[in-house]
Amino acid sequence: MNQIAAGRLFEQLRDRLGLRWIAGRAGENRFIDAAASVSRRPSLAGYLNIIYPNRVQILGTEELAWLDGLDARQRWETLQKIVNFSPLALILSKGQDCPADLREAAEDARTPLWVSPRRGHELLNVVQYHLARALAPQVTIHGVFMEVYSIGVLITGESGSGKSELALELISRGHRLVADDAPLFTQIAPDVLDGTCPDLLQDLLELRGLGVLNIREMFGDTAIKRNKYLRLIVHLQRLRSDPNADGMQRLTGDVGSRRVLDLEVPQITLPVAAGRNLAVLTEAAARLHILRIKGIDPGAAFLARHTQFLQMGEGA
């Protein structure tokens, strides 16, 4: 299950948001996990809320002014409610001075307390997006993930079907490698799967007989893509002679889909046989997918033309 600790979140956002850690350093290992991202309440990040406390509580000028308006007992009780919920962190916006009692409460409860010069709505947008992405559903799929004609193409198939050899040929033709063997896909939006490479495998491609190749060093920085949205799966399958094969596939192609997390991703199956140029076929599959996105389907157009031709013949 995906999770993120307060200390890691601070390091990831420190430079971008100008964060300073002013209290509660002992709570750096406090974490939230993916279960928090699917619950309706509390939310991952938001302005100070003591009824449905957020995982990350942002205190702007209005929130501190509201606290200042409480009498001593109410203020103490409110601060105890805030820290007793054990939020991942509290963040003061606009570089405000931290009240001494808030600092003390955070230190006693081991609640990370940060301050940033950024405005509250900037903190909210950045922290909410960062947490949502960090805790988003993820899956690893065996294959090679490439950028082909600007779209993300995942090449899958049985072991020994030639996935890595095909990837190397595509790279030599000017396309780019994202990840070999174990690309990681994150559902960052209801209809978007973002594919990346694990740090351990960054820039590497493994081929039988040659071993591990560093694609960046061999082909340059332009041969590597840091991440790409998954739009198409090209599945390599050994060619089998099947007398009962569907003849319509000769016209429409072997087109289907594969479910990845919550999305159905279009999949084209390419038969593998001696003499077939899989690099050219994969490029053609990518071009065909782009045409279909635009509403152009050559197979469907041919069938419509064929039907019209038959109707004209019957009417003659």
Question: Which is catalytic among the residues 14, 133, 181, 216?
Answer: 181
Q: Under DSSP, is residue 70 helix (H, G, I), strand (E, B) or coil?
A: coil
> Contact 19/13 with Cβ under 8 angstroms?
yes
294 is catalytic: no
163 is catalytic: yes
> Contact 93/60 with Cβ under 8 angstroms?
yes
Question: Which is catalytic among the residues 16, 81, 142, 226?
Answer: 142
Angle between helices 278-293 and 163-172 (to 10 degrees): 80
Contacts of 210 (CB under 8 A, 6+ apart): none
Q: Under DSSP, is residue 151 helix (H, G, I), strand (E, B) or coil?
A: strand
Which two structure tokens, joined as six digits, stand for 208? 């039988």
Report the candidate in 151, 258, 157, 163 with the shortest Cα–Cα distance to residue 195.
151
Question: Which is catalytic among the residues 238, 250, 276, 287?
Answer: 250
DSSP assignment letter at 18:
T
Tokens 């606009």 belong to 94
Nearest-angstrom CA–CA distance, 111 and 26: 8
Question: Which is catalytic among the residues 30, 118, 163, 228?
Answer: 163
Residues identified as active-site:
142, 163, 181, 250
